[in-house]
Structure 1
Amino acid sequence: MRLSFWSYENPAFVGICGGAMSLKGAEILLVAPRGDSYINVLFSVYKRSIDFTPVTLCTIEKRELSEGAEDKIKEVIENTWKDSPPRLLFIVTTCTAELLKIDFNAIRAWAEYILMTPVIFIESNSFTETESEALDHFMVELIDRFTVHALKTRVPSVNLIGPYYFGFREQSNLEELHSLLSSLEIEINSTFPWKANIESIRYLPAAWANISLSPESSMRTLELLKSQFNQPIVKTIPIGELGIKRFIDELAALGLTDGKLKLSDKDMLYGMGSYIGRADNFAHSVNAEQLRRRKAFVFGSFTQAVGVTRFLAEELHFPVVAAGTYSLALADRFREELAGIDTEVFITNDFKEVRQRIMDTQPDLILATQMEKHIAADLNIPSAIISPPINNEMFPVSFQPIIGYRGAAHLADLIFNPLTVGLEDNLKRMFGEDEDDIEEEVPAV
């Protein structure tokens, strides 16, 4: 079988489902013609905890396709939730279900009346709208429906906007960010949509500011909160130790902290504090010297590509021959973020163009998505996955952040480990590759 098409972003309904599955107390009705329900399998494959959001599948058969599916959908809703309605119900349609002539807004209103619970249907177009855009749309809809004006919290607090079910190493990153903000004496008012509920969404306006963890899927949401509730946006993402410094400086400029870390002896010995400076120490090590004679190629989502490129160039002094993103909507901002770095910046969502750029630049290391890992294997170039789309490496069972101090140390390992440097190079030059030098055994006479 030959790969004929690859998309770096899933269709819109995956973003809506991912957002809904990130919430507490929510349930999903997935409407899909037979054979189009693969998303349920996708959820179960990558789920790493036991609190699995219930997804009820309403399969549209040939009969409903010809006669109308409204009665079938209503029947599923009544049979499933009439006696035990969820706290929040989402009606989600797959790509092909969107093509059916069904008035889902009417079904939503009927279900809300019958179940006496909030029912959400978010209109989307999976043929023109990406997963990231749909997630942004999802958050805007919930804010419009549930938020109220609220007094600001007594002590400095922030909302973490953007983390969700299909984010890159989301759980590890959130744990690390909690530790960092706690050491700066900043409270977290709400994380949205990750682990949010109707109550926490209602009081999003109580925070002093909003931290953007994934601009590609949250800019409309952030601008809405800024315009309606006068909440400034913290745009810096703390990837790398210099990124952390810029992040803290931005928080301090908004009056949220004095910029000084308050860490206990235990933190300094065993926790986040013990990792402060590790990435910087590595950057000045003999091993890191090897990196400066090589060149890297970076490609991924806006957040990951910007963070990793700056970490490579500014902290490890690892030359980056090309840095690109498939986040087309943030093309101008991507160029601005990397304006001071000596690299070829490009924006594309065509994997064939990315492959051609790799072949043209001949990098020593590729840091990109799952697709580029396949390309790297074909071209015999070391690689590591640093960005969505969805793959197993996005959901580690262990603690593997890429933001914060522990994230900087882990990112240094992620970059360095695929390469063969130093002593390994010398050994290869002296003894050669095993598979080339092992002589065939002479059969016994």
Structure 2
Amino acid sequence: MKLAYWMYAGPAHIGTLRIASSFQNVHGIMHAPLGDDYFNVMRSMLERERNFTPVTTSIVDRHVLARGSQEKVVDNITRKDAEEHPDLIVLTPTCTSSILQEDLENFVSRASLTTQSDVILADVNHYRVNELQAADRTLDQIVQYYLDKAAKEGTLPQAKTAMPSVNIIGITTLGFHNQHDCRELRKLMADMGIQINAVIPDGASVTELCKLPQAWFNLVPYREIGGMTARYLEKNFDMPYVDITPMGVVETARCIRAIQGILNQRGHDANYEKFIEEQTTHVSQAAWFSRSIDCQNLTGKKAVVFGDNTHAAALTKVLAREMGIHVVWAGTYCKYDADWFKEQVQDFCDEVLITDDHGAVGDAIARVEPSAIFGTQMERHVGKRLNIPCGVIAAPIHIQNFPIGYRPYLGYEGTNQLVDLIYNSFTLGMEDHLLEIFGGHDTKEVIHKGISAESDLAWTEDGLAELNKIPGFVRGKVKRNTEKFARDRGISQINVEVLYAAKESVGA
């Protein structure tokens, strides 16, 4: 746990609350001080939902610290049980309240004696895991709780569905395009003649979790959330799972072939080769576009990719393998799963970057000066400072990345959206140069600050005036090269003479 003004993955309690609030009629209670209670605002703003179960905050204040939290926590649980009648109440501390080392498990046990709702404490180490890890663990915990409960009550179905069926695991609120991806996956399964047995957690009821073992297999589209649940179901109910993200033409086909293999092993005669060919040729435009003259103009252009494991790995493959774009480096902030990420991307990029330090990411971008960035909202800010275009491909994200229109990134329609995102993210042709010639820029003021906070270089008026004469599409590169020249020689102020000297040093 560390303090930072930018975190790629949020604290653990956000992950737990994402899972709890994704289910229908599940109420989350957060044991936390004021300041940690921003989840409701964040969700209502980003998801634009009219109806959702809000999270209740059991505030830890000076009075609670003086006499203890037990009565307040128990009262909040029993009150919400009486008022809302939820199927399940999930209690979670935050990093801050965890410092108190209270016996919350005992509080939950006491409250459970008088509630009609099921009550559980989120089994998450808030000091050691982040939002994504906590979400994965909380989903697994809830699924295990209800399957164990059904087994004890003798209500666990024993037979599989008559027709091939699937559970889609890991679709959550506040996920990057999750609802759009889920709609595309539902359509993809229907086109293949596969029934949807359940989609969890988003929109699901915990009372229906007992039917999960009826499915023939599980599909885990995202690396970050759903893997623990799929492994539990495989171990205890002999349910195979596919964890290939169907993002891009090649990986979508590979995912479908993995599903085909499972169905054939289960005695169902499945052959999706014609379906793959039809979808690739007529539904997806990505394969056609990759051979067009427009895409050929991007061949060899440099790009960098950074994000969570799922989207960063998938997009790196699409850029390098399907569109002929040179990925200089690919990176992820999911340090806990670094080995998997390296294995996935090492053949498709020059360098792999594993870090959750946004400053290191910004410096790595400035060092290689790519033609485009594909990253999170933070990399978009970095791109603005360096005058490099950026396509946002992973959380953390801004409200603009929760589109009203249909924008899946998975499946065959997702390939079309990816192509648009990639192509439109590059600065094409001589746009900036033409704007400089014919007018249109509001200002020619250059950005003084570098990406690193260590930069203390200053530009004189004559130096800036000369820099502003340089066409916009190369000005950023000239500025960075000049600052590097000055820094290497211990020069703290850049005037026109230093600019000329830097230019001569590179033979320009």
Does TM, scored on the shorter chain, surpass 0.5? yes
Q: Which residue in the other structure is 2:163 paired with?
A: 155
Matches within 5 A, 1:27-42: 27-42=27-42
Alpha-carbon distance in structure 1 between the residues aligned to 2:274 and 2:137: 36
Q: Counterparts of 2:357 and 2:84 in 1: how far apart (Å)? A: 46
One-letter amino acid of the structure 2 residue matched with residue 409 of structure 1: N
Amino acid at match of 1:332: D
The match for 1:330 is 337
> Could you tell me which residue of structure 1 aligns to residue 457 of structure 2?
none
1:259 and 2:267 are equivalent in the alignment: no
Determine the structure 2 residue equivalent to 1:114.
Answer: 114
Instruction: Name the CA distance, whole Å, in 2 between partners of 1:159 and 1:216.
Output: 17
Task: Assess if the C-alpha contact under 8 Å between 2:167 and 2:199 holds in 1.
Answer: yes
Aligned-residue offset at 1:221: 2.0
Counterpart position of 1:102: 102
Deviation at 1:374, TM superposition (A): 0.8
Corresponding residue number in structure 2 for 1:63: 63
Q: What's the CA shift for 1:260?
A: 5.1
Tell me the equivalent position of 1:86: 86
In structure 2, the partner of 1:231 is 239
Tell me the CA shift for residue 377 of structure 1: 0.7
**Take 1:396 and 1:434, find their aligned partners in 2: how far apart are those partners?**
28
| Inter-CA distance 341–52: structure 2 relative to 1 (3 Å threshold) | same
| Bigger mean CA offset, 90-99 vs 21-30 | 90-99
Q: Given the superposition, is the C-alpha separation of residues 261 and 110 from structure 1 closer, same or farther in structure 2, using an over 3 Å criterion?
A: farther
Map Cα deviations across residues 273-292 of structure 1 (whole Å, 9 max, x no partner).
99623112221222212211
The TM-score with structure 1 as length reference comes to 0.89
Does 1:211 find its partner at 2:219? yes
Q: How does 1:179-328 map to 2 (within 5 A)?
A: 179-255=187-263, 257-259=270-272, 276-328=283-335
Partner in structure 2 of residue 174 of structure 1:
182
CA RMSD of aligned residues (A): 2.4
Higher relative contact order structure (alpha carbons within 8 Å, sequence separation ≥ 6): 1
**Amino acid across the alignment from 1:130:** N
Given the superposition, is the C-alpha separation of residues 342 and 101 from structure 1 closer, same or farther in structure 2, using an over 3 Å criterion? closer
Letter in 1 for 2:260: A
Greater Cα offset, 105-114 or 373-382? 105-114
Answer yes or no: is 1:134 the counterpart of 2:134: yes
Question: 1:4 and 1:223, CA in 2 relative to 1: closer, same or farther beyond 3 A?
Answer: closer
Question: For residues 332 and 252 of structure 1, what CA distance do their matches in structure 2 show?
Answer: 28
Call closer, same or farther: CA 1:428–1:248 in 2, change over 3 Å: same
Letter in 2 for 1:258: N
Look up the equivalent residue of 2:271 and give its one-letter code. D
1:75 corresponds in structure 2 to 75
Any gaps of 5 or more consecutive residues in structure 2?
265-269, 445-508
Q: Matched residue pairs, number? A: 428
| 2:22 matches 1:15 | no
Q: Percent identity?
A: 32
Three-state SS of the structure 2 residue aligned to 1:217 is coil
Residue of structure 2 equivalent to 1:383: 390
Q: What's 1:347 paired with?
A: 354
For 2:36 and 2:9, the matched residues in 1 are separated by: 18
- Partners of 2:27 and 2:88 within 8 A in 1: yes
Task: Please give the alpha-carbon distance, in whole angstroms, between the structure 1 residues aligned to 2:443 and 2:42.
Answer: 41
CA distance in 1, matches of 2:338, 2:38: 31
Residue identity opposite 1:49 in structure 2: E
Please state how far the C-alpha of 1:312 moved relative to its aligned partner: 0.8
Structure 1 residues 161-170 or 46-55, which shifts more? 46-55
Offset of 1:403 from its aligned partner? Answer: 0.8
- Give the C-alpha shift of residue 390 in structure 1: 4.2
Shift of 1:83: 5.5
Deviation by residue 1:307-340 (Cα, 9 ceiling, x = unmatched): 1111111111111111111112222221222243
Distance in 2 between residues matched to 1:347 and 1:101, nearest whole Å: 32
Matching residue's letter, 2:288? N
Shift of 1:432: 6.5
Bigger CA radius of gyration? 2
Cα distance in 1 between the residues matched to 2:144 and 2:36? 31
Aligned 1:411-430 pairs, distance under 5 A:
411-422=418-429, 424=431, 427-428=434-435
CA contact (8 A) 1:183 1:261 kept: no
SS in 1 for 2:365: helix
Give secondary structure in 2 for the equivalent of 1:238. Answer: coil
Residue 185 of structure 1 and its aligned partner are, at CA, apart by: 0.6
1:46-57 alignment, distance < 5 Å: 46-57=46-57
Equivalent position SS for 1:304: helix
Report how far residue 47 of structure 1 moved: 2.6
Q: 1:68-89 CA deviation, whole Å, 9 max, x = no partner?
A: 1211222233333336521111
Contact kept? 2:249, 2:280, Cα under 8 Å:
no
Q: Is the 8 A contact 1:279 1:412 kept in 2?
A: yes
Which deviates further from its counterpart, 36-45 or 157-166?
A: 36-45
| 8 Å contact kept, 1:108–1:119 | yes
8 Å CA contact 2:40, 2:54 repeated in 1? no
* Cα distance in structure 2, aligned partners of 1:354 and 1:287: 30
3-state DSSP of counterpart to 1:321:
strand
Aligned-pair distance for 1:43?
Answer: 2.1
Secondary structure at the counterpart of residue 254 of structure 1? helix
Task: Structure 1: state its 5+ residue gaps.
Answer: 438-445
Question: Paired residue for 2:374?
Answer: 367
Residue 435 (structure 1) shift = 4.8
